[in-house]
Amino acid sequence: MEERILEFWENENIYEKTQNLRSRSSETFTWLEGPPTANNIPHAGHALTRALKDAMLRYHTMKGEYVIPRIGGWDCHGLPVELEIEKKMGFNSKSDIEEYGIKEFNQLCRDSVLKYTDDWVEMSKRIGFWLDLENSYVTMTDNYIESVWWSLKTLYDKGLIYKGTRVAPYCPRCGTTLSSHELAQGYKDVKDPAIFIKFKSLDFEDVNYLAWTTTPWTLLANVMLTVNPDITYVIVEFKEEKYLLAESLVNKALKPGKKDKQPKILQTFKGSELEGKKYEPLFPFFKDIGGNAYQVTLADYVTLEDGSGIVHSAPAFGADDAETGNRYGAPVLQPVDLEGKFTDDVPPLAGMRVKDADKKIVKMLKEDNKLYRSEVYEHSYPHCWRCDTPLLYYGTESWFVGMKRLRENLISNNEEIFWQPPYIKNGRFGNFIEGAVDWNLSRSRYWGTPLPVWLCNECDKIDFIGSKQDLVEKVDELPKEFELHRPWVDDVTWSCNCGGTFVRENYVIDTWYDSGAAPFAQYHYPFENKEEFEKDFPYNFITEAIDQTRGWFYSLLSISTALFDKTSFTSVLCMNHVLAEDGSKMSKSKGNAIAPSELFDTVGADAMRWYLCSTPAWNPMRFGKNLVADAQRRVLNTLWNVYSFFVTNSNVDNYDPDERLPIEKRSEIDRWIISRLQGVISNVKEGMEKITFHTCIKTLDYFIIEELSNWYVRRSRRRFYGSELTQDKRSGYDTLYEILTTISKLIAPLIPFLAEELYQNLEHRLDPSSLMSVHMHLFPIENADLIDHTLEDKMATALAITNAARTARAEAGIKARQPLSELVINLHDDKTKIPNELIEVIKKEINVKAVLFVSTDEGFVDYKVQPLLKELAPKVRGAIKTIKPYLESLSRNKAKETVKAIKKTGKVNMTIDDVEWEFTASEILVHALPIDGYIMGDSKGVEVFLKTAITKELQLEGLARGIVRHIQENRKSLNLDYLDRINVSISSQSEIIKNAIQKYRNYIKEETQADTLKMTMQKGAIEQTIDGNEVALLVEPVQI
């Protein structure tokens, strides 16, 4: 069916026609595609984003809005792409790339980024995502890059872009620095050596400063020991040695054993008194560095949380250390190269990767008696978000965007955004922008938007370029095959007035800036489409995964704030990650990853979309074939069965929907379902507006299964039997037709294929002049005049009673077809009245002979009482040992009295072992259990009790119903319609089966549309078991 619908949409250009129905003169709904990189096949998480985006766009189109720009986008630059090529080519370093050739390497990158676009296009098409992918924006085109250059030049002119040397997170594998939002995406819990080191004091005789670190490799660059000026420090004597450390950490750091003499305090200082004190270098490699090296410094960031209260400081490897070093004029030691290896300045470690050198460094310290102790410390440590390499903090020269200056603007603009879920706004995202730091923009890489900065090699004058035309004006003419990528831009130079030459800074920019510039760069703004962009900006809606709070969402807001001082989007949905069916992370290596294409031909795109929309998008979602198939079976098949029921019967009666009965002339159950439909329309519309697709699904799920199928159709089925088109039957047809045609439009944004199928068969086929597709219609609007709250409340009570009784039967293992003698309904008050006609409906639905109403459960339940240990134990302490068994062994009457007191006053007084106790309702757990001979159930405040005794009379009726079910199953296996007349033969040695047939012969024939029912053995009869009784059953169609 779905493939046929896809073909229909394509052949008839339905997408284009829906767009053409709206126009620029209509109200617009703007949205922005978060651009994926098409260098891998799409996975289940991408199916989620595609489904939710499409649902949103279809809904707003059906609201009559013009959705723009309804195009895709491809993110093409950056480390992810480069690493993929490096892996393919077997490259291990940047030198391998440069030896191969930047031009050739970048061409491989270019070829790879759109390698899987066909897979992405096919997945998007198959899941029903209506999007113009032929005209997608592509971040590697010259037009796009030129817009990015314009934005950078604008920020530079505003004084927001500058060059500086800072300690920044650095990936030695990729050979480049990272920004703060990239850093935030790559933390992992790791186990590192944590060591306490002895630094010999030059001011206190025979005293060692005791410092602590989890990065032993940074000790080679140590030039300071830093203390907190307000913390109290002490010199202690322990095991014949003297140590200086924070007073409150003495025992935690020194760890004296049970047999050890406790550390003895010899002297006490405030941290501020230690400023300027000197110590001996830990290693000899830089002992003659001079300057203000190897002294005690002060900083507020030193805490008492871990370690010794003394922090070893290496300005080359820490932002805080660098800031402190700057204040004290400390030298910067850099014994590590850009590949993360020790240099020849430290001969014993030369050529070793820093993390690999930790063990050797610890060994060196131990041999020199400078190690106090070591342990394994588990902590969160940043890793490269793309290649997984542990990052170093490394002092490098970079270009920055001054986001710190714009913190208040970011916070203010964030207030203009509607976040779903709301707690992200001032939580995960809000906290991040409150701590915004300057954006480390430049990357020492190859495949990316080149940083458009040229520096004079003589006078350091800066020329910031903002367009391709700017370059032309510098050099008169660009090469014929020139493009805005390396190495072409690297080769462009021009003369400076000083006699020097302007040479480009060999950086590309952070790829997150590329995607964050999409709002304007996709328009080639401001060079083209200026008016169009400014009219549509900011965008009404974006959505991507939760990790984009540190990625795309942040770069979008940062760039739009810096350029325009406004947000670039006004509403955003944060999606969580898709997990395997068992709740574990999906991965190819585990074999539990599912490609969306695997499910399209089995359960279908609609079932997948329905399931993906059924859970709050911001919660982790389990995904698998069984879960999607369950959604298909429960809801979509149920709706299809209702549709099939209508079509089958209406075709027999040649029903014409053009002349319908007024609502007021229809039966009560028709008016009820029409009233309920108005509430469903309202709730679905509210869910779509609030971007809570799961509430839409919940509303539709309950309406389709419980109210439409299990109640309305079930209660109305007999109206459609019989040969005449009576007014009651027409009322049913009119109502069911209106329900189904309205549902087709309600579900259209969520499950577009089934919606189209229903619409084509129910409306367009009957009226070819109607709109060609359901998706061209406007979204339904509720009609308040059709709402009858009194009728709804009455029917809701009947439904609740029915559901409670069905649940009780299921839990007790009593089949629905087995009649029972009595249903007791506790409505908890004397005011609620159930009309007689509904009582009859309830009796039929629950399959009981009598209904009794009560206002209390007294006489139908016994109680079991238990203490709520979490609440009660702290209050009664040791007495819980006697209170618990006392409460759990209360007699039947005493338990009733206890519950009665709690219900009346909220508390109960008891004497236990001569001690008076008062227990409140929050401290007591009450279990209500049905008395013998009854089962109980509850639903929406209604409590029911079913009498379980089954008389012989009830047993016979139950068997008759069982016979009906088996006959109907045989009818189904013969592919007979339920209206087709049949002949039935049944034989059995069981007397009780014979008695049931004899007593209920007419009932069985009427229910099964049987012309004859013979109790004889016939050739071809099928052996079956009905409630433990063997029978032979033959069903044959009546030959006309």
pLDDT of residue 861: 82
pLDDT of residue 318: 83
> What average pLDDT score do residues 196-209 get?
94
Residue recorded with tokens 């980024």: 113
Supply 992's token pair.
């009780």
pLDDT of residue 1000: 93
In the set 130, 552, 610, 618, the catalytic residue is 552
Supply 675's token pair.
């009233």
Is residue 861 a contact partner of residue 930, using CB atoms and an 8 Å limit? yes
- Of 99-108, 146-155, 349-358, 392-401, the poorest mean pLDDT is in 392-401
Is residue 511 a contact partner of residue 178, using CB atoms and an 8 Å limit? no
Distance between CA atoms of residues 802 and 795, nearest Å: 10
Distance between CA atoms of residues 449 and 141, nearest Å: 10
Q: What is residue 666's three-state secondary structure?
A: coil
pLDDT at 484 over 90: yes
Of 453, 528, 449, 480, nearest in space to 142 by CA = 449
| Confidence grade of residue 785 (pLDDT, cut at 50, 70, 90) | very high
Residue 998 annotated as catalytic: no
Tally of CB atoms within 10 A around 64: 13
pLDDT of residue 179: 67
Residue 212 annotated as catalytic: no
pLDDT at 41 over 90: no
Residue 35 annotated as catalytic: yes
Q: Going by C-beta distance under 8 Å and a sequence separation of 6 or more, which residues neighbour residue 1003?
A: 960, 964
β-partners of residue 573 are: 420, 543
Q: What is the secondary structure of 807-856 as a DSSP string?
A: HHHHHHT--TTS-EEEEEEE-SSS-----HHHHHHHHHHHTEEEEEEESS
Of 49, 79, 146, 159, nearest in space to 517 by CA = 146
- Return the HEC string of 844-907: HHHCEEEEEEECCCCCCEEEEEEECHHHHHHHHHHHHHHHHHHHHCCCHHHHHHHHHHHHHHCE
Distance between CA atoms of residues 269 and 86, nearest Å: 56
Q: What is the pLDDT of residues 669-688, one digit of tens each?
A: 999 999 999 999 999 999 99
Total number of residues shown for the chain:
1040
pLDDT of residue 918: 86
Q: What is the CATH number of domain 191-382?
A: 3.90.740.10
| Confidence grade of residue 354 (pLDDT, cut at 50, 70, 90) | confident
In the set 258, 480, 588, 904, the catalytic residue is 588
pLDDT at 232 over 90: yes
Residue recorded with tokens 């839409």: 696
In the set 31, 53, 75, 169, the catalytic residue is 75
Residue 256 annotated as catalytic: no
Most confident region among 255-259, 563-567, 762-766 by mean pLDDT: 563-567
Most confident region among 188-202, 312-326, 694-708, 993-1007 by mean pLDDT: 694-708
Q: What is residue 163's three-state secondary structure?
A: strand
β-partners of residue 928 are: 863
pLDDT of residue 308: 93
Burial track 567-601 (b if 16+ CB lie within 10 A, e otherwise): bbbebbbbbbbbbbeeeeebeeeeebbbbbeebbe
pLDDT of residue 879: 84
Distance between CA atoms of residues 220 and 287, nearest Å: 11
pLDDT of residue 1017: 84
Q: Where do the H-state alpha helices sit in 12-140?
A: 14-21, 44-62, 79-89, 94-100, 102-113, 117-126
Is residue 933 a contact partner of residue 947, using CB atoms and an 8 Å limit? yes
- The answer to whether the Cα torsion of 543, 544, 545, 551 is positive or negative is negative
Choose between 593 and 279: higher pLDDT: 279
pLDDT at 303 over 70: yes
pLDDT at 184 over 70: no
Amino acid at 233: Y
Q: Report the percentage of the chain scoring pLDDT > 90.
A: 58
Choose between 291 and 19: higher pLDDT: 19
* Inter-helix orientation angle 14-21/2-11, to 10°: 60
Distance between CA atoms of residues 1027 and 1014, nearest Å: 20
pLDDT of residue 587: 66
Q: What is the secondary structure of 725-756 as a DSSP string?
A: --HHHHHHHHHHHHHHHHHHHHSTTTSHHHHH
Residue 149 annotated as catalytic: no
> What average pLDDT score do residues 363-381 get?
88
> What average pLDDT score do residues 226-247 get?
94
Q: What is the CATH number of domain 952-1037?
A: 3.30.2320
* Inter-helix orientation angle 1001-1008/952-973, to 10°: 30
pLDDT at 561 over 70: yes
Tally of CB atoms within 10 A around 540: 18
Most confident region among 172-176, 471-475, 828-832, 900-904 by mean pLDDT: 471-475
> What average pLDDT score do residues 249-266 get?
89
Each domain of the chain, given as residue ranges in start order, spans 191-382, 605-795, 861-930, 952-1037
Supply 763's token pair.
């409306």
Of 511, 387, 528, 385, nearest in space to 450 by CA = 511
| Confidence grade of residue 691 (pLDDT, cut at 50, 70, 90) | very high
| Confidence grade of residue 863 (pLDDT, cut at 50, 70, 90) | confident
Supply 419's token pair.
């976040």
> What average pLDDT score do residues 899-921 get?
86
Amino acid at 209: Y
| Confidence grade of residue 509 (pLDDT, cut at 50, 70, 90) | very high
CA 109 to chain centre: 31
Tally of CB atoms within 10 A around 920: 15
Of 916, 918, 917, 948, nearest in space to 931 by CA = 948
| Confidence grade of residue 183 (pLDDT, cut at 50, 70, 90) | low
pLDDT at 997 over 80: yes
In the set 103, 278, 585, 903, the catalytic residue is 585
Residue recorded with tokens 């012969």: 1001
Give 388: exposed, middle or buried? Use CB within 10 Å, 0-12, 13-18, 19+: exposed
In the set 548, 678, 760, 818, the catalytic residue is 548
Choose between 60 and 481: higher pLDDT: 60
Tally of CB atoms within 10 A around 291: 11
β-partners of residue 586 are: none
Distance between CA atoms of residues 165 and 396, nearest Å: 5
In the set 9, 35, 519, 867, the catalytic residue is 35
Supply 319's token pair.
């932002």
Is residue 901 a contact partner of residue 894, using CB atoms and an 8 Å limit? no
CA 357 to chain centre: 40
Of 255, 263, 249, nearest in space to 305 by CA = 249
* Average pLDDT value for the chain: 90
pLDDT at 589 over 90: no
- The answer to whether the Cα torsion of 14, 16, 17, 19 is positive or negative is positive
| Top-tier CATH class for 605-795 | mainly alpha
How far does the chain reach from its first CA to its final CA, in angstroms? Answer: 33
Q: Report cis status (omega within 30 of 0) of the bond before 526.
A: yes
In the set 74, 439, 512, 618, the catalytic residue is 512
Amino acid at 634: R
Is residue 518 a contact partner of residue 451, using CB atoms and an 8 Å limit? no
pLDDT at 945 over 80: yes
| Confidence grade of residue 957 (pLDDT, cut at 50, 70, 90) | very high
CA 86 to chain centre: 32
Distance between CA atoms of residues 316 and 1004, nearest Å: 90
Strands 28-30 and 66-68: parallel
Name the maximum alpha-carbon separation found in the chain. 117
Choose between 456 and 381: higher pLDDT: 456
pLDDT at 282 over 70: yes
Q: Percent helix, strand and coil across the chain, each rounded to 5? A: 45, 20, 35
pLDDT of residue 690: 96
β-partners of residue 508 are: 443, 450
> What average pLDDT score do residues 881-909 get?
86
- Of 350-364, 621-635, 819-833, the poorest mean pLDDT is in 819-833
Q: What is residue 704's three-state secondary structure?
A: helix
Q: What is residue 37's three-state secondary structure?
A: coil
